[in-house]
Amino acid sequence: MKRFSTIILGLLVITAMLASACAPAPPETIVKTVIVEKEVEKEVKVVETVEVEVEKEVEVVVTKEVEVEKEVEVVVTATAEPEPEEPGQEMIGNFPTSDENEAKTAQAAADAADMGSPDPDWAGKSFTIGVYSAGQRGAVSGPLYFWRPTFEQLTGATYDIVEIPYGELREKIFTDLMTGTGSYDVIINCSNFYGDYILNDWILPLDPYFDDPRMPQWDRESIAPAVAALYKWGDTWYGANNDHDAQVLYYRKDIIEDPDWQAAFEEEVGHPMPVAMDTWEDLLEIAQFFNGKDWNGDGDPDDGLTLHLKVGGQGFNHFMSLSAPYVVLPYDGDPATKVTKYNNVYWFDPETMEPLINSPGHVKALEMLMDLSKAGPSAMWGWSLGEAWADFLSGNAIMTFSWGDVGSLVQDPTQSVVQGKLGARGIPGTNFPYDMEAGEFLDLDEPNMVGNQVGCSWHPVLSKYAKEPDLGYYFMAWQATPPINHWNVAYGWTGLDPGTTYDWFEPYGTATVEEYVAGGYNADDALQFIGSYQDNFFNYPIFQPYLRIPGAPEMEEIWDVHLSEAVTGQVSAQEALDRTYDDWVRIVDDYGKDELLKLYQESIGYTP
């Protein structure tokens, strides 16, 4: 725990400074909430909640300028008012939107959702949600703002939203939980936080609420099993349904399937274009062929591939999904998913807790990522999600592999020229995986295909220190109801991806193409997009295991840095992963190898 001492000291110093800046101590004290907004590097807005003492119930606005930094504005309010909407924000009914169809379909979802029986005692109460920072119309945080007026009307209560930049998320949430401060009642969390949650008993199980008549009912059986496992530890539910992350491949179907471009490829490369892109080797050939050519006819050279590879911007997830088929092999028996020392493992040796991250399979996969990164603009080494997606949506890149956001954002004519031209499929495999037991690369007749649930699968959990746990769970359950969750998934700006039977088409689910078309989708695009997710979750024989042990977020942050060192040419793939190995050994030792080994075995389903 010593790694957190500096964080705690900094938190206490900041809290003391803010308290001293507010006002002299009065004879009558009332504890109120202060919302502090400050500008930090890269112009990311951070919102923190601290408690101070104020004289009476009046609204005071104190603005303090610090010459060497940025302006710090402290707003002290006598009541727990929700954050103000953006100036001039248009409302249609209860919804902050100017899109009539969006408001209409959202209202239909709200009307169809189970509402339970809200407790009258909740009227006038509030709770706080901590969430990844993306704004009022941004991924993950956006739905919280969108649905808040309806929640207020439904319950008579409200909630405050505290946005936290991705790079600070682990530090702020873990510090709050470790100190027992309880700044956040509900946390929209990343699934890789669970190991630390469980080890420290930081979050509350949800099972006791399932039969509570006050609470909305949501369908846990509808969630894809690979994702449902991320909402639980063992058989106990800790998370409510929300997001269902996996990466798939998106491409310009109109260009890839164009006979003229296929003929040009064969003339230049010497064999037919591998249109199916079943392997990463096939995909690399196509990306390299199109990169630098004016295939969109705008007079400028265009990109073969676009990725978001910025450190701290979730870029390491690309390597996770790409590398899985080079590393993870099925069990040669029944079931293929059985976890052994050499099968269905990716992160650590399940018997010794030695990191596998610098295995020959991982190294070969990183060399592939380095090659792929050269089949597009070098600027993408510093691109975040939005910039990489924009390159594809604006028609300047042939392909990208990323989350479900892309499939739905393609349908937005204000930012996409790709609607009606979308191709999508599950992540490619490879014919050349590394066999850890044999100590050699294989040469397979059919590609090794490995499904993934790469990403955070952002979903709410309930803090052990929640001041209003029942009200917080009500919100979690209401958002998890099929009508509201399906609406959130269908609209791309929400950042929530498909993963339930009511998102899937037959034979995997109950959704129809017409439902998506009613929400603004092109019918063929919907079939491509949803079909690729169905393939990933149901048609791939094995899955890449998910890292959820204590220390996992720290491991992935360090890994992210070393991957970037390789992709940007600073070190070789082998050196980057050797550095990662050394850092992971240190983290494992810090937490305690024996304790981590037990939790790791439990999390991946390995029986010694």
Q: Each residue of 518-559: pLDDT tens digit?
A: 888 999 999 999 999 999 999 999 999 999 999 999 999 999
Say which residues have a Cβ less than 8 Å from residue 473's Cβ, sequence separation at least 6: 206, 209, 215, 240, 462
Contact between residue 46 and residue 164 where contact means Cβ atoms under 8 Å apart: yes
DSSP string, 231-266: GEETTEE-B-S------EEEEEHHHHT-HHHHHHHH
Dihedral of the alpha carbons of 150, 156, 162, 166, in degrees to the nearest 10: -40
Closest-CA residue to 33 (of 104, 81, 89, 90)? 81
Over residues 479-493, the mean pLDDT reads 93
When computed from its CA atoms, the radius of gyration of the chain, rounded to whole angstroms, is: 25
Please state, as a whole number, how many other Cβ atoms lie within 10 Å of the Cβ of residue 21.
14
Q: What is the pLDDT of residues 569-588, one digit of tens each?
A: 999 999 999 999 999 999 99
In this model, does residue 430 exceed pLDDT 70? yes
Please tell me whether the peptide bond between 413 and the residue prior to it is cis, using omega within 30 degrees of 0: no
At 263 the pLDDT is: 98
Q: What is the 3-state secondary structure (H, E, C) of 399-461?
A: EEEECCHHHHHCCCCCCCCCCCCEEEEECCEECCCEECCCCEECCCCCCECEECCCCCCCEEE
- Give the count of alpha carbons within 13 A of 439, CB side only: 0
- As beta bridge partners, residue 39 has 45
At 87 the pLDDT is: 53
Contact between residue 459 and residue 188 where contact means Cβ atoms under 8 Å apart: yes
Q: What is the pLDDT of residues 29-57, one digit of tens each?
A: 323 333 333 333 333 333 344 333 333 33
* 274: confidence class by pLDDT, cuts 50, 70, 90: very high
- Choice among 8-17, 78-87, 276-285 with the minimum mean pLDDT: 8-17
Q: Token pair 């706080």 is at which residue? A: 128
Tell the burial category of 483 from Cβ atoms under 10 Å away from its Cβ (0-12, 13-18, 19+). middle
Over residues 444-449, the mean pLDDT reads 98
When the pLDDT of each residue in the chain is averaged and rounded to a whole number, the result is: 87
Over residues 445-465, the mean pLDDT reads 96
pLDDT > 70 in the chain, percent: 86
Say which residues have a Cβ less than 8 Å from residue 194's Cβ, sequence separation at least 6: 230, 233, 238, 548
Helix (H) / strand (E) element for 10: namely helix 5-22
Cα separation, 517 vs 497, whole angstroms: 17
Q: For the chain, how long is the longest CA-to-CA vector?
A: 86
DSSP 3-state of 182: coil
Contact between residue 313 and residue 385 where contact means Cβ atoms under 8 Å apart: yes
Tell the burial category of 15 from Cβ atoms under 10 Å away from its Cβ (0-12, 13-18, 19+). middle
Q: What is the pLDDT of residues 69-108, one digit of tens each?
A: 333 333 333 333 344 445 557 999 999 999 999 999 999 9
Beta strands in 273-346 (DSSP E): none
Closest-CA residue to 135 (of 53, 46, 72)? 46
- Choice among 23-27, 392-396, 589-593 with the minimum mean pLDDT: 23-27
Q: What is the pLDDT of residues 100-151, one digit of tens each?
A: 999 999 999 999 999 999 999 999 999 999 999 999 999 999 999 999 999 9
Contact between residue 483 and residue 403 where contact means Cβ atoms under 8 Å apart: no
Delineate the domains of the chain, giving CATH numbers in brackets: 2-77 (no CATH), 105-243+457-503 (3.40.190.10), 248-452+528-604 (3.40.190.10)
Please state, as a whole number, how many other Cβ atoms lie within 10 Å of the Cβ of residue 294.
11
Cα separation, 608 vs 603, whole angstroms: 13
**Distance spanning both ends of the chain, measured CA to CA:** 29
Contact between residue 475 and residue 188 where contact means Cβ atoms under 8 Å apart: no
At 88 the pLDDT is: 59
Closest-CA residue to 381 (of 234, 563, 160)? 563
Quick one: tokens of 540?
């791939």
Q: How far is CA 57 from the centre of its chain?
A: 40
In this model, does residue 65 exceed pLDDT 80? no
Over the range 307-329, which residues count as b (16 or more CB within 10 Å of their CB) and which as e? bbbbbbbbbbbbbbbbbbbbbbb
Residue 536 per-residue DSSP state: I
Tell the burial category of 607 from Cβ atoms under 10 Å away from its Cβ (0-12, 13-18, 19+). exposed
Say which residues have a Cβ less than 8 Å from residue 216's Cβ, sequence separation at least 6: 113, 114, 115, 116, 474, 477, 478, 480, 481
- Choice among 27-31, 129-133, 169-173, 310-314 with the minimum mean pLDDT: 27-31
Give how far Cα 22 sits from Cα of 19, 25, 32, 402, 565, Å. 6, 9, 12, 45, 44
